[in-house]
Chains A and B, each alone.
Chain A
Amino acid sequence: MARLVIDPITRIEGHLRIEAQLDGGKVSDAWSSGTMFRGMEIILEGRDPREAWIWAQRICGVCTVVHALASVRAVENALNIPVPENARLVRDLMAGSQMVQDHVIHFYHLHALDWVDVASALKADPAKTSVIAQSISDYDKSSTSYFRGVQQRVKAVVDSGQLSLFASGYWGHPAYLLPPEVNLLAVAHYLEALAWQKDFIRIHALLGGKNPHPQSFLVGGMTTSMDANEPYAVINPPMIGKLQDLVKSAKRFVDQVYIPDVLAIAPYYKDWFARGEGLGNFLSYGDYASDNLEDPKTFLFPRGVVLGRDLSTVHPVDPAGITEFVNHSWYDYSGGDANGKHPSVGETKPRYTGPKPPYDFLDVDKKYSWLKAPRYQGKPVEVGPLARMIVGYASGQKDIRVAVDGALTKLNAPPEVLFSTLGRIASRALEAQIMANRLQGWLDQLSSNLDHGNTTIFNPVHWDPATWPAKARGFGWHEAPRGALGHWIEIEGKSIKNYQAVVPTTWNAGPRDPQGQRGAYEASLAGTPVADPARPVEILRTIHSFDPCLACAVHVIDAQGRDYSLPMVR
């Protein structure tokens, strides 16, 4: 038995440490630790609720936008401010674009190097890569000379002896199973995706001035003024044209590059359809209302809970069922650590009790993470693209059914393969495709509203704090790229009394609870083979399949009682 420490886990957002017990070449147990704390919620206390989104957005710069959105929703919920349809459409366009871009970056730049051997690509025959590329996609960059050019570029880097980002890779590891030609294809698309992502995300600059951290949200709407006849309105006919080009580019890239690549690579790694499952419990808050804002069953991503792999039953989400534990987290609870606290009565006093740095190992029998351990009705659950696809599939959501069934047919596999490391990757890709398609509908609606003179983008009813009640409470939910996100706010005397965020990676990467139940990361690593502990690429495969976002995950909760009667999302 040996203890393997992987710290830092790279190709993620934030600071994550995994300690794994190895037994007979396999992981017998694992501990997930978030090693950074910032204290955003403490800092927000006493500030203007209307600007909370500007601060909260800085929780994360990878999944930028999502915390801004959850924050304005929370304040709008607290102050009872209905948002104009145009503002909802712009928000959906921005959040949806974020999801597509984030998923592409995750697959190519944060995850692919776990499956793709860059060094092997040098041995490829570019002509054969070209044949493969043309057999799986209509993407125009597929000629032999194109792939030869990519290969020469990589060769120049390797020959220079300065391998840059690739210097620390696990090249030649026996777990890499792609033929050289497919490796070359993936390396080429790594570079294409790098160029595409920065071009596509100009959609955030158009609608928010910049990315990361676009700057156009308002409590009550958006700053993107609309007027078909004003050249200096933010949204006018020329803007619609620019947005149209980018929305098309998203669909093209996902349909012609991302999806074909996932389907081409997955068959070489079929073992990973049976590895890395983890909990089998899934939670989705639901998001992206198309028809009925009040009915979460009609959302593009439906709300629900699926337990124990049982796709026959979708349980409703009871907001009162959320509790957080700190018995393995560096916080104190009044009344002791044995009981969880609902976010509405949550509290946090950070108190580090881990080893004094520099240290070699954490004391995992005690407290070992800055992340808390959220549980739903006492059970650990997974959130994210897989959870959304599982809940949506089980709910019979049409877009999700069509996408998932289509992929399963191509892979000739039953739905059970979704409960796995590769299932997470496939779910993320399918979700990006569903979202890339849906962007067009939102843009069409926005364009139609502009044409018909429906240009309201902001509801001024409660901008003036003088109109606010003495006390107000609210919460805003969003299905962020990494999963279920919730912000809770309490306003008193025109300022923030308490603020709190419970975020996707806390659900997935949190530590054990008092019952000893593992979090999703910890559970998913059980049984993972590790051929070479010095190069633990197998562990990275499963951890990366969750798309960790640790900056998001560490939060202070210091909120008082709340009313959860509203099924409020927007």
Chain B
Amino acid sequence: MHAETDLSGALARRGITRRQLVKFCSTMLATLALPEKYLAQTLNAVSKARKPVLVWMQFQDCSGCGESMLRSSHPEIADIVLDLFSWEYHELIMAGSGAAANAALDRVVKEEKGNYIAVVEGGIPTGDGGVYCTIGGRTALDIAERVCRNAAATIAVGACAADGGFMRAHPNPTGSLGLEEAVPGIRLINMNGCAHNPVNTAAVLVHYLTFHDLPAVDQHNRPLFAYGRVIHDQCERRAHYDAGRFVTEWGDEGHRKGYCLYKMGCKGPAATFNCPTAQWNDHTSWPIRAGHGCIACASPRFWDHMSPFYERLPSVPGFGVEVTAGELGLGLTAAVVAGVTVHGLITMIRPAPKYPEKPEKEV
């Protein structure tokens, strides 16, 4: 049953035409900013007869990131969960509950050890022995240790999994942490955002399928293809900023004309993300187009570091002057915004992290 490695046969069996597949792979390459020469490799990877196994874990979450994944358009979510991966554990949508669900997860951790992808949604409460989130009587921390340490790679989707999300905000009553701190040393990539954008997460998944590796990341372990550019520099309202045309009151003439939202508290100048270009929900829109400032939801610890959300960023440098993320960060050093924000702005590029080839811990 698993012997079929012929591409066209495998595709036909899944009801996918080659044309559909090429279109999908091209879209993914564009998102990842990879040249077309990788098309053949990508095509081969996504059409393997044996699908890689994936488990989607939910800890201190709102299920918004799972829902966001369901909004994936290119590829469609059904294609991802049925054709590209064998999506064997995901509490939000899997068929079985209780013992059947736990058995499915146990099987993957044992039988697919070192070969499966773990996606994690939600923070990990570490306070009071982890009692603030249990599944099947085990703590989130316990489960994350077991599942992520035995995975080939872990994708932390959303702000909560990346850094503890809003639970981590002062006073962090449950001791919530992101995966990087709660389960240190695992092979990890962070897909910050509230929620994560499924376009980017799908691209990371396809990158992994194609190259058996995670894409290059920045110092916050976020993929550069999605988090490498300042929102302000990509913003469709940027020309208004440069010309000094601002919204000064909600619903005013400037608001109706689509002027810059900087004075209304927009954090676009202090945030890096491909939100303006990738957009949301099948490239329909993004928050600034809906008339609201950016809240920098893809920035580390944004809940504490970027709020109050309606207070304007201090001292964003020069009108009409293109600045790099690094310069921008330095410009903010003296600002009222917490110093940690600056840390998030100096986009020191680092190569894909080196991690142990094999999991360090047994089940």
Contacts and interface: CB of A to CB of B under 8 A. Distances in A.
Contacts, number: 333
A270 B96 CA distance: 24
Instruction: Please indicate which of the listed interface residues A357, A455, A463 has the most CB atoms of chain B within 10 Å of its own CB.
Output: A357
B311 to A, nearest CB: 8
22 contacts: A10-B94, A12-B91, A12-B92, A37-B174, A40-B166, A47-B307, A60-B62, A61-B68, A152-B15, A153-B15, A159-B1, A164-B81, A169-B95, A169-B100, A208-B290, A210-B281, A226-B256, A352-B131, A356-B129, A357-B138, A463-B250, A535-B100
Contacts of B174: 37-39
A54 B294 CA distance: 12
B20 interface: no
A50 interface: yes
A423 B49 CA distance: 44
B36 to A, nearest CB: 28
A161 B129 contact: no
Contact of A62 (B67, B98, B170): B67
Interface string A26-70: 000000000111111011000110110011001111101000000
Nearest to A460: B249
Contact of A460 (B49, B138, B250, B310): B250
Interface string A198-211: 11011011111111
A13 B63 contact: yes
Contacts of B93: 10-11, 109-110, 165
Interface stretch (A215-223, A281-289, A294-302, A377-385): A215-223
Instruction: Please indicate which of the listed interface residues B59, B76, B91 has the most CB atoms of chain A within 10 Å of its own CB.
Output: B91
Nearest to A41: B173
Contacts of B50: 160, 162
B290 A215 contact: yes
Given A15-B134, A230-B257, A463-B249, 5 more contacts: A62-B63, A153-B82, A168-B88, A168-B101, A458-B250
Chain A interface, >50% SS class: loop
Contact of A218 (B49, B167, B172, B250): B250
Contacts of A59: 62
B137 A37 contact: no
Interface residues of A, number: 109
Given A58-B165, A109-B93, A48 B308 contact: yes
B91 A61 contact: no
Contacts of A501: none
Given A156-B14, A352-B128, A536-B97, A209 B290 contact: yes
Given A51-B308, A218-B250, A350-B173, A198 B282 contact: yes
Contacts of A352: 128, 131-132
A221 B251 contact: yes
A325 B271 CA distance: 44
Nearest to A50: B310
B95 A166 contact: yes
Contact of A233 (B72, B256, B285): B256
Interface in B268-327: 279-282, 284-292, 295, 303, 307-310
Nearest to B264: A223
Contacts of A535: 100
Given A36-B132, A39-B173, A225-B291, A5 B251 contact: no
Given A61-B64, A160-B49, A170 B96 contact: yes
B250 A223 contact: yes
Contacts of A7: 98, 135-137
A10 B62 contact: no
A201 B281 contact: yes
Interface of B: 1-2, 13-15, 49-51, 53, 58-68, 70-73, 76-78, 81-82, 85-104, 125, 128-139, 142, 165-167, 169-174, 176, 194-195, 249-251, 255-258, 279-282, 284-292, 295, 303, 307-310
A228 to B, nearest CB: 10
Given A198-B281, A206-B285, A224-B290, A360 B1 contact: no
A42 B307 CA distance: 16
A426 interface: no
Contacts of A460: 249-251
A202 B282 CA distance: 8
Contact of A212 (B102, B173, B195): B195
A14 interface: yes
Interface in A528-566: 534-536, 540, 551, 556
Given A36-B132, A40-B166, A113-B95, A205 B280 contact: yes
A474 B53 CA distance: 49
A125 interface: no
A226 B249 CA distance: 14
A458 B135 contact: no
Nearest to A62: B63
A35 B195 contact: no
B251 A10 contact: no
Contact of B288 (A12, A35, A209, A551): A209
Contact of A9 (B97, B133, B167): B97
A10 B97 contact: yes
A250 to B, nearest CB: 15
Given A202-B284, A358-B138, A551-B61, A165 B87 contact: yes
Contacts of A198: 70-73, 76-77, 281-282
Interface in A363-410: 370
Contact of A8 (B91, B169, B307): B91
Contacts of A463: 249-250
B283 to A, nearest CB: 9
Contacts of A199: 282
Given A161-B2, A215-B290, A204 B281 contact: yes
A160 B51 contact: yes
Instruction: Please indicate which of the listed interface residues B136, B174, B286 has the most CB atoms of chain A within 10 Å of its own CB.
Output: B136
